[in-house]
Structure formats: C-alpha cells, structure tokens
Amino acid sequence: MRLLRAWLPALLAAALWLVSGAVEWLSRRSSSFVLDVLDLLAPETVPMGQLVAPAPWPVVLAGLSALAVAGAHAAALALVRVRRREAPALTTFAAYWMCAVVAGAVTAAIPFAAAVVGALAEGRMPSGLAGTYLVTGAHWGLLWGWLPALLARALDTEDAAARSRAGLAAAGALVLLAAGVATAVVAPVADAARQAAVPETPEPEPVPTGTPVPEVAPGEWQVDPLWCTSGQLEVTAGPVEAALGVRAMPVRVTNVADAACVLEGYPDVAFGATRTGAVDVEVDFGGDTVVEDPGVHRLELAPGERAVTVLGWRTPAASSADPADWLHVAGFHGGRREVVEVDTDITGGTVSVTAWAVAEG
C-alpha cells in the first residue's frame, strides 16, 4: 500500500501527459471551438511525427514517454520530499509542482538527445525544432504539474525512512532509464515504418514553355549504315572544367552493342533548358582557342570501346535566361538525339565542338 501511495502522483503525471498529447492531437484534426480552446492548455507532449507512424508504434512510443514521465516524476518527488513540520505548505506544494516540470523536461530530452546524436552522426546541424520540444516538456509541467503536486501533498504523512525515499528515487531513475533506452531503440524503427507507409508521389516533370529541341537535327542528311546509331551508344557528359573565362565539358560515348560501329566527323549537339525549352546556341564545329580540335578521323568502335568529344565555351555574361541543363546529342547529323542531363551556365552564344576522338582510359 505504501508503494502504491508513493507512485500515485507519478502515475497521475503520466496520465496527464497522455491527456495533454491527446487533446493537442485531436485539436489538429477537428475544428471544434472547445478543442481549440483546450489546445491552448495542451502542449504537444508526444511529437506529431511519432503519432503518424503506422500501428502499433504510436501507442508504443506514447506509452514509453508516459512511462518516462512517471519514472522521472517519482524520482524527483522522492528527492525533494520534505517533512510537513519543516516547511510551509505552500513551499512544499511548489516543490512538488516543480517535480512535474523536471519530469516533463527530462522526458522531452530523450527525443531531443536522439535528434542531436542522429544529426551529428550524419554530419549535419541539429534542427531547432528538437530544442522546441524540450521547452514544450517543461511547459507541460507548468500547466499540469499542480495536479500531481496536490495529490502528493494530500498523501504526505510523516516522512518514511530515508531508505524508502532512496529506493523510490532509484526505482524512478531505473524506470526512466529503461523507457529512454527503449525509446531510442524503437523511435528509428517507427520512423522507418512511417516513411515506408508513405506512398512515393513522383514530382511532375516541368513542361518547357519555349521551342522544344527536335529529336533529329533539321535538314537533309546522308547517313552511312555503318555509323553508330543512338541505340548503340551510351552517352555520359561532364564534369565541366572551368578555367579563366572558359569552360570545357567532355562528352563520352560507349559502344554497348554486340557489333562494331563507326564514328566519323563531328557529333550533332543541341541544348535545352527544363523550363524554357531550346537554348539558342551557335555551334562551332572544329573548335577555336577554347578547345583544341584533333581533326576528323574515322573511328571504328568495337563493343565496349569509347570515343570522346569536347564542348567548349566562354564564360557567358550575366543573364536572366535559364541555363542549359540538358544536352541533346547524336553521333552524327541526322541521327536520333540522346538526352543527357548536364550542369552548365550556357544561356546562348557560341559553343565549340571537337571531332570524335578515341577516349583514353
């Protein structure tokens, strides 16, 4: 019986912790005026991110946080319990009230510490929202802690032996530690379950508002049947190499077919921007001082062999136009262009293009 009396204020604090969280959660899902008013007195004791996880994780996490509150409150109450005759009633009541403040702050510190450790482990700065929840726990104690304090004051008798108080403090600390460890283990699992339960909605691709880039270069072209078609080549572009006032970007192709094919001369290139469509660029085949052109050679690419061309341009002047972020390239003029994502500052002007050469390495 004495053990139950000692734990009753802590159990009441745990119940009020859950009540506050439930009221706050309900107020978010309802337009009830009463709930909106009660929300002013109901801090978010259980983080919303934990409540949106699939079952049974919300119940498990809420139960662990209530268990932590009970343990922290019982330990704090055992440490500050005073004799009635040694302190005024108001002082005793205030000390018991502060036990709830401490219990709320300590319990809120569990996910706060987990968030900080997780952020530092990933090499990033912790979010400021984690610290906000730490304050929320103490706020709950100020708003609701007077009720467990009244109960603790009403149950006060002449002090039990110091051994009993020490045992209660140790038991409360043990319950708090167990709940904290369990929360640290369960929270990542619950978060992973929450993320897995959210269906991935692909973002709609931007629709260019300007002129689209043609799939094949306009004009009449004579195509050698031995030339490498787009289906035979795998294209990679970049990275962009920057020097004083100039840029250069290699574009490599790999023969992924089972038979050899031929590249001869210059590739066909065009540029596009995601939002605005085709970028008006003048292509200078043969290069200039920006890139050195090796000259035209007939290259026979065996399966797995690679060739390279280099695109060069001068640093463009400041412009409000969207830079090219897509390269449209074919092995020859008249071939179907492959589209490769690139990161350039090309907004117009002239781009030099070298002839195909054997790619080293």
Over the chain (361 residues), the average pLDDT of each successive run of 10 is: 75 90 74 64 73 78 89 87 63 88 86 70 59 75 90 69 69 86 80 72 63 88 86 89 84 92 93 90 80 87 92 84 92 92 90 90 64
Domain that holds residue 320: 230-358
For 33-36, the CB contacts below 8 A with 24+ separation are none
Domain end (from 146, 174, 197): 197
DSSP state, residue 5: H
pLDDT in the model for residue 235: 93
Q: How far is CA 214 from CA 202, 314, 344, in A?
A: 26, 25, 20
Domain end (from 146, 179, 197): 197
> Under 8 Å CB-to-CB from 175, ≥6 apart: which residues?
67, 68, 70, 71, 74
243 with 192, same domain: the answer is no
pLDDT in the model for residue 279: 92
pTM of the model: 0.52
Tally the domains of the chain. 2
Assess if residue 206 is contained within a domain: no
**H or E segment to which residue 11 belongs:** helix 2-29
pLDDT in the model for residue 158: 47
Assess if residue 307 is contained within a domain: yes
* Residue corresponding to tokens 């502060």: 98
51 with 187, same domain: the answer is yes
Whether the Cβ atoms of residue 183 and residue 65 lie closer than 8 Å to each other: yes
Whether the Cβ atoms of residue 106 and residue 176 lie closer than 8 Å to each other: yes
Tell me the β-bridge partners of 260: none
